[in-house]
Amino acid sequence: MKDRNLEQQLADKLGNRSITPSAKAWDRIANNRQQGKTQKKKKKVFAYYAAAAVFFLLASGYVFLMQNKTDVIITEPQVVDGGEVKAPVLPSEEAVVSKSVEIKETEAVAYKEPEVLVKKQSVEVVTEKQEMASVADQEIVIKKKQPEFNLHVEPIEALVSIEEDKFYEQETDMLLKEAVKDVAANKHLSNTTNDTALLKEVEAEMDEYYREKAMSIFSLKHKTIRIAVKDKQ
Amino acid sequence: MKIIRLHTSDEAVIKKILQGDSRAEKQLYDRYAAKMLGVCRMYIKDMHYAEDVMIEGFTRALDNLGRFRFEGSFEGWLRRIMVRESIDFLRQRTQLYFEDITEVEVAPVITDNQDMDAELLQLLIDKLPEGYRTVLVMFAVEGYGHKEIAEMLNISENTSKSQLFKARKQLQEQLGKVRRIENER
């Protein structure tokens, strides 16, 4: 017999050696497999629950965002620009989300009547106050005349969904313009101004504004919760 | 005349298992369990632990049977799983320790005219430290190269070579002892 490399013997004899496992070995493998399957099922169920939870969160977030948008009703035209009557002033085209404003032809015709009136008023302003000639060319906002205006114009109700902040910015701009015109018309020039009093007045107005805003949000939330509770019952 | 097939190919059995046939799982187990226990036993001295490792390895193989691509032999694929399981077991028990030495070449151990039986060979390699034994078995029995051994054991190629060198040296010493005992008789 030739000399044999020990490593070759290892490969030949140990490499192909078979050792019979104990009788319970297969039962243990089957048991392991069964446990693995149940764990996989549990993982699947957990994954479904997780997906459902994520979906619920996203849906509730979407509903919450939608509820923050409020509907604003504009009942009358507010701005007269150089004798022209504009349609109800919307904050911006982007702000209109849910519904578009449709103005019927009859309503559009009804605007033409106050156009004449306003023109007359603007002419009166110009004749009475000659020094205001330069200002008269600019935009004139006449808010005080609006009640008369409403007598001729059929009230237009347009349900527009807008963002509140933009609406109030527009309103602020409009009030500023009105103040400029008043100053130009020397309406308040005779009054002496008191800085502190003015500041207090503005602060009071702002407080009131924010209080109203907060109350409107609270009432809206309250309403939503009530509806939700009612639906649940 | 009806022909009864006595031996089903591995591929057919695996396909049955993938279709959910649990009897085919048992069939595959009966075919390879003993061989795979032999593989695990080469790395792990304790027979009970070796069987535990074989069971874990078989469970893993059955769980991942869908990944077997039928490109090589199923036995080879299963064997690799068993080797990896054995190495993981030794690592977990922190029995796998490798030390670097400078000498890296030593001639294979020659056993004169002796044709040693499997039990004696097993006894010889059982006496080697875990690190030496693992590299020796991977190199001599499984046929892995040093690069592959280094990757699987997360060691350098030189460490793998030095472990083999030490293993051979110790085997030589043990064989010398065996010869002396036989001569005394």
Q: Do A6 and B54 count as a contact with CB atoms less than 8 A apart?
A: no
Confidence of residue A143 (pLDDT cuts 50, 70, 90): very low
User: Is residue B107 situated within a structural domain?
Assistant: no
pLDDT of residue B149: 94
Chain A contacts in chain B segment 71-100 (CB below 8 A): none
Q: Do A18 and B55 count as a contact with CB atoms less than 8 A apart?
A: no
Chain A CB within 8 Å of residue B140 CB: yes
Chain B CB within 8 Å of residue A45 CB: no
Separation in Å, CA of A42 to nearest CA in chain B:
16
Bridge partners (DSSP) of residue A158 are A74
3-state helix, strand, coil in chain B (%, to 5): 70, 0, 30
- What are the tens digits of pLDDT across the range A159-178? 455 566 778 888 889 999 98
The number of distinct structural domains making up chain B is 2
Confidence of residue A41 (pLDDT cuts 50, 70, 90): confident
Q: Looking at the structure, do residues B22 and B81 belong to the same domain, yes or no?
A: yes
> Of the residues B92, B107, B140, which one is the last residue of a structural domain?
B92
Residue A111 amino acid letter: Y
User: Is residue B65 situated within a structural domain?
Assistant: yes
Set of chain A residues whose Cβ sits within 8 Å of the Cβ of B171: 6
User: Is residue B27 situated within a structural domain?
Assistant: yes
User: Is residue B44 situated within a structural domain?
Assistant: yes
Bridge partners (DSSP) of residue A74 are A158
Q: Looking at the structure, do residues B86 and B135 belong to the same domain, yes or no?
A: no
User: Which residues are CB-contacts of A46 (< 8 A; sequence separation ≥ 6)?
Assistant: none
Give the CATH number for residue B66. Answer: 1.10.1740.10
Q: Is A79 exposed, middle or buried (0-12, 13-18, 19+ CB in 10 A)?
A: buried
Separation in Å, CA of B1 to nearest CA in chain A:
36
Half-sphere exposure of A146 (CA within 13 A, CB side): 13
Question: Is the torsion defined by CA of B86, B91, B93, B95 positive or negative?
Answer: positive
User: Is residue B68 situated within a structural domain?
Assistant: yes
Which pairing describes strands A84-85 and A158-162: parallel, antiparallel, or unpaired? unpaired
Q: Taking a C-beta distance cutoff of 8 angstroms, is the pair B13, B70 a contact?
A: no
Separation in Å, CA of A43 to nearest CA in chain B:
16
User: Is residue B55 situated within a structural domain?
Assistant: yes
Nearest by CB to residue A26, choosing from B29, B125, B143, is: B29
Q: Do B143 and A11 count as a contact with CB atoms less than 8 A apart?
A: yes
Q: Taking a C-beta distance cutoff of 8 angstroms, is the pair B142, B36 a contact?
A: no
User: Is residue B137 situated within a structural domain?
Assistant: yes
Residue with more model confidence, A144 or B145: B145
Separation in Å, CA of A47 to nearest CA in chain B:
20
User: Is residue B5 situated within a structural domain?
Assistant: no
Chain A CB within 8 Å of residue B167 CB: no
d(CA B128, CA B121): 11
d(CA B57, CA B51): 10
pLDDT of residue A78: 52
Chain B CB within 8 Å of residue A37 CB: no
pLDDT of residue B82: 95
Residue B111 amino acid letter: T
Chain A CB within 8 Å of residue B106 CB: no
pLDDT of residue B88: 93
Q: Looking at the structure, do residues B34 and B88 belong to the same domain, yes or no?
A: yes
CA A120 to chain centroid, in Å, comes to 40
Q: Looking at the structure, do residues B75 and B144 belong to the same domain, yes or no?
A: no
pLDDT of residue B70: 86
Q: Where are the domains of chain A?
A: 70-190, 192-222
pLDDT of residue A14: 86
- What are the tens digits of pLDDT across the range A212-226? 999 999 999 999 999
Set of chain A residues whose Cβ sits within 8 Å of the Cβ of B134: none
Chain B CB within 8 Å of residue A20 CB: yes
User: Which residues are CB-contacts of B172 (< 8 A; sequence separation ≥ 6)?
Assistant: B109
What b/e sequence results for B140-153 when a residue is b if at least 16 CB atoms lie within 10 Å of its CB, and e otherwise? bbbebebeebbebb
Separation in Å, CA of B59 to nearest CA in chain A:
6
CA B151 to chain centroid, in Å, comes to 16
End-to-end CA distance of chain A: 95
pLDDT of residue A110: 44
Neighbours of A167 (CB within 10 A): 19
pLDDT of residue B2: 59
The predicted model gives A101-130 an average pLDDT of 45
Q: Domain limits at B137?
A: 118-184
Neighbours of A38 (CB within 10 A): 9
Smallest CA-to-CA distance from A108 within A148, A143, A158 is with A158
Q: Looking at the structure, do residues B88 and B54 belong to the same domain, yes or no?
A: yes
- In the structure encoding, which two tokens stand for residue A160, read together? 């527009």
The predicted model gives A104-130 an average pLDDT of 45
pLDDT mean by block of 10 residues, chain B; 185 residues: 67 90 91 94 92 94 90 92 94 69 53 66 89 93 93 92 91 83 77
End-to-end CA distance of chain B: 62
pLDDT of residue B178: 80
Set of chain B residues whose Cβ sits within 8 Å of the Cβ of A29: 29, 55, 58-59, 62
- What are the tens digits of pLDDT across the range B115-127? 567 888 888 889 8
Q: Is A186 exposed, middle or buried (0-12, 13-18, 19+ CB in 10 A)?
A: exposed
CA A203 to chain centroid, in Å, comes to 26
Q: Looking at the structure, do residues B86 and B22 belong to the same domain, yes or no?
A: yes
Chains A–B, number of C-beta pairs less than 8 Å apart: 107
Q: Please name the residue of chain A whose CA is at the shortest distance from the CA of residue B28.
A: A26
Half-sphere exposure of B85 (CA within 13 A, CB side): 25
